Structure formats: C-alpha cells, structure tokens
Amino acid sequence: MTDALDGDGNAVRPDEPPPSRPPDDRFHRALIDDVRPPAWRNPKPIGKYDLVVIGAGPGGLIAAREAAVLGAKVALIERNLLGGDRLNVGCVPSKALIRTSRLYADLHDAENYGGQVPRDIAVDFPRVMARMRRIQARLGRADSARRLSEAGVDVYFGEASFAGSDTVAVAGEVLQFRKALIATGARPLIAPIPGLAEAGYLTNENVFDLTECPRRLMVIGGGPLGCELAQAFCRFGSQIIIAQDDPTFLPKEERDAAQILSDALARDGVEIHLNTTVVAVRTEGARKIVDLVSDDVSFSVSVDEILAGIGRAPNVEGLNLEAAGVRYDTETGIRVDDFLRTSNKRIYAAGDVCLEHKFTHAAEASARIAVRNALFLGRKRLSALIIPWCTYTDPEIAHVGLYVREAREKAIPVRTFTILMHDVDRAVTDGEEDGFVKIHVRHGTDRILGATIVARHAGEMINGLSFAIGEGIGLRAVARVIHAYPTQAEAIKMAADAYNRTRLTPMLKSLTRRWLAW
C-alpha cells in the first residue's frame, strides 16, 4: 500500500501483505496531497467532541460531514488515507481497470460490429494504471483533508484506540466524546495456506500498485473481487487460473446467474477450477508453484503472481475495544443492534466493520442512520434498509431483496417473472444479449420481494427495482411506467407486463370478448 504509517506509532498488522508502493507519479502525488497531506498538522483538541469518528472510508466520511453540517463538533481520525478502501484500494481503482478491460474486450470483438482492428492489440499496462491513478486523484479531491477541515471537521491522522468509555487516543492526544462512531472497515482475509506468505502474494491492498501485468496469475477465490479482477487481468493479456472451493462462483447468487458468469469467464479464456482448494504454495526460482486439490485429484500450476481474494475481515484489532466496553467478534466484527449501537451506548458502528453486506453504499447508508440515532435520538433501523449490490463482471450480476431460496426458507410463496436479455431489442442491437431480468413477487400479489439482473449494465438497472421495493411500488405500477425505447431497462417493464398478463383470468377474457362482440 502507500506510505508506511508507523512513524506515528501505528500498529503493523500481522497479516499485512508484502509492502508495495504505487509509482510516485503526479497523479499519485496529487492524490496524497488531498487524502494524506504530507505537511498536515493534527489540530489541538479543545473540549469535548459531540462525535468522534474513527476511520475515514465512505462510512466515516459521510458521518463526519453530515454531523458537521448539522452543527455538531466533530473529529475524524484516519490512520492511513482518507477515502478508505473505496477510493484507494477498492471500488474506484477496480472499476477504472474494469472499464479499460472492457475496451480491450470490445476491440477484440470489433469484427462483430463491422470494425477492423489489428489482431494483436497491444495493452499499454503502465498507461492503464496511470489512468486509474488519474481517476483516483480526481475523485480524491472530494475527500480532501482541507475540504473536510473547511466543512468544520477536525481531521486527525494516526491510529485511534479507545482510552476509556468516552475517550479515544490518537497521535499523542486524547479526545473526549459524547458519542463515537467506529467505521474502521475491513481488510483482506488471508487463508492460512502453507507457503503463501513466504512466496508472496497480492491482495486488493497492493494489486493496484503493479507496474507490469503478470504473465500468469493465479486468483484464489471466486467471489466478486476474484471474479472482477480475474476477468479484467485476463482481458489485459494475463493467463488467469482461478480456483474456487465452492461448486459455483458467487455462491450467494442464483445458480443460473453464476453459470452465465462462469461461461463468460471461460469465453474470455480464464482457466476455471471450481470445487478446488489451494493446499500449498512453493517457489522455484521466480515462479510460484501452487498445489491444488479437486475432489481427490491433486495437481500443480506454475504462475508469476498470486492474488488472494477469499473474503474480508473486520478491522477490530488495535482499537482497544475492551477499554470502551465494546463487544466484538474477530470474524463478524463489532456487535451492533438494529439501531447500530454497540454494547457501549455512547458508541455506534457502521460500514464494513459491522455489516454483513460490505459495500460502499451500505457503509454510507448505515453511517447516516448511526449519526441520526447517536446525535438526534433517532430510531432509524438498519433492517429497514433496502441494499442492492452488483458484481461488475461482464455481464454484471446485480441483486436486491430476497432470493427464492430465502423466500422458501421463510415459507413465503413466490412467483417469478423472467425476461431473457436476448428478447430485449436494445440488448440485441448492442450485441449484449447474455443474461436476464428475474423479478420475484409474493404469489397472488404484485409485491416485489427481490430481483436478480444479469446484463452488461445490470448495476444501472437494479436501482429502479430497489426504488420500487423501498417505496412499496408493485409490479402493476411498474408496468404503467413508460420506459424509453430502446433501452435495456425495458426488460423490467416486460417482466411487469408478464405479471399483468397473469391477472387476465379466463372470466375477464370471456367478458372482454363478449363486450367487443357487442
């Protein structure tokens, strides 16, 4: 990752991946100027803060800004870079790379669209990464320390740890608080694979610092992170081998969605090993030899780099939570109730450090709830949130609400309306026919319980359905919405029309026939 921060006496994590630094170009320097200004001096705390926020990822940032706008005296503590995972080692860099990887995939497919491009399209990897850093620098301006300070937030850099039930220590100062919010996020979970640490590996914390595209890359884990980066690096020209110890990718998603993704990765040229476990890693010269077991078959592959993406672990260590009386679990994170309050009623938590759904928008939404509940006696509930999500592979896989299996577990009767993207005019004209829109309603009603969309722009399409679920808008109303033609989102209206057709009972049909005859 970026600058080592132990100058401030910060704890070094035991499972930290090998240190790595992005190229020190003007984009990186511009980013650092905003999110960790080298000449920054922490303020001197005066009196009690209304709210001390620990962690300046999307959750902490939104909480600090909202509280300051509402007139509270706020401190925000960050041990590394403002912006957290989203800006520095998560959503922003990964989506920037995915965009370029789609460009290369489209270029390879140019003939299908009547284009002529050379067969050997050269990938300029350093420029791809420079574009990514340029985008980080641009988006980092919104998270800058100076802007936060101008908005009335006291920004402290350093590792925060509780000194008591209403005090936090940071960089030699002790801050007193009325309320605190823990938004310390999560970090890559590293499987205890013998030899992995010795051989060296990449995680999301250093993969975006690469200056050369690995020739052969082993991706461990077929969750969103593993699948997104496997496809992107494959499209940059890496030979990708992906191992997933489940029988499908994205095990939470509907099986047919995961199957479409698996087919898409295979078409891109990814070597797929499902139901396969990495059992050991060795080195032979500069090569890393990965030993795998699939059922009872053992085999090895030789690669240049290994990307470990098997999950996320909450950042609860080093916070001295015991001193504050905050209960936590090293796997599931800080324990919170539905109002996001911890076992210390002055202290709340939000984002990846306590949520099952580890997404930027979930971190932000939960932080908003926590601020209202903490400072304004609010009674907003986490369980009331409708949280969609999307895996940004090609095609994308987006979901909101219940899965059919969850509805069945809850004994809720479900009826599903499915539209295949190859029946949607715009998907056909775009040559983006892979996928479907599936909307589940409570049987006998038009109440939307959940939806899965597999489509090139599924992430854009799912938002309309999140809105409908959140506002209690049923499929009958969705069918009344005029969708612009031709758009891929028309698939949603087509599913709603399919629902409407089921309301035409034989009795209604015969009445209509009689009426028209008359």
Ligand X SMILES: Cc1cc2nc3c(=O)[nH]c(=O)nc-3n(C[C@H](O)[C@H](O)[C@H](O)COP(=O)(O)OP(=O)(O)OC[C@H]3O[C@@H](n4cnc5c(N)ncnc54)[C@H](O)[C@@H]3O)c2cc1C
Task: Kindly state the number of chain residues that form the binding site for ligand X, as judged by CB under 6 A.
Answer: 37
Separation CA 246–CA 257 (nearest Å): 15
In angstroms, what CA-CA distances link 339 with 73, 180, 347, 412? 22, 14, 11, 26
Separation CA 396–CA 436 (nearest Å): 11
Q: Is the dihedral of CA 495, 470, 337, 91 positive or negative?
A: positive
Q: Is 395 in the site for ligand X (CB under 6 A)?
A: no
CB 67 within 8 A of CB 371: yes
Shortest distance (Å) from residue 503 CB to ligand X: 36
Residue holding tokens 């679920």?
469
* Binding-residue pattern over the window 43 to 72 for ligand X, x denoting contact by CB under 6 A: -----------xxxxxxx------------
With contacts defined by CB under 6 A, name the span among 257-265, 355-363, 414-422, 439-447 that binds ligand X. 355-363
Shortest distance (Å) from residue 315 CB to ligand X: 4
Shortest distance (Å) from residue 122 CB to ligand X: 26
Q: Is 259 exposed, middle or buried (0-12, 13-18, 19+ CB in 10 A)?
A: middle
Q: Is 318 in the site for ligand X (CB under 6 A)?
A: yes
Q: Residues 2, 206, 315, 393: which binds ligand X (CB under 6 A)?
A: 315
Shortest distance (Å) from residue 148 CB to ligand X: 13
Q: Is 195 exposed, middle or buried (0-12, 13-18, 19+ CB in 10 A)?
A: middle
Q: Estimate the crossing angle of helix 224-235 against helix 255-268, to 10 degrees.
A: 20
Separation CA 246–CA 284 (nearest Å): 29
Shortest distance (Å) from residue 334 CB to ligand X: 11
With contacts defined by CB under 6 A, name the span among 184-192, 295-303, 413-421, 470-478 that binds ligand X. 184-192
Q: What's the DSSP call for residue 70?
A: T
Q: Is 360 in the site for ligand X (CB under 6 A)?
A: yes
Q: Is 138 in the site for ligand X (CB under 6 A)?
A: no
* Binding-residue pattern over the window 188 to 207 for ligand X, x denoting contact by CB under 6 A: ----------------x---
Which amino acid is located at 244 in the chain?
A: Q
Q: With respect to ligand X, which residue has the nearer C-beta, 202 or 301?
A: 202
Q: Residues 33, 34, 66, 78: which binds ligand X (CB under 6 A)?
A: 78
Element (H, E) at 411: none
Separation CA 112–CA 131 (nearest Å): 28
Q: Residues 104, 359, 417, 436: which binds ligand X (CB under 6 A)?
A: 359
What residue ranges bind ligand X (CB under 6 A)? 54-60, 77-80, 84-86, 90-91, 94-95, 159-160, 183-186, 204, 225, 315, 318-319, 351-352, 358-361, 363, 392
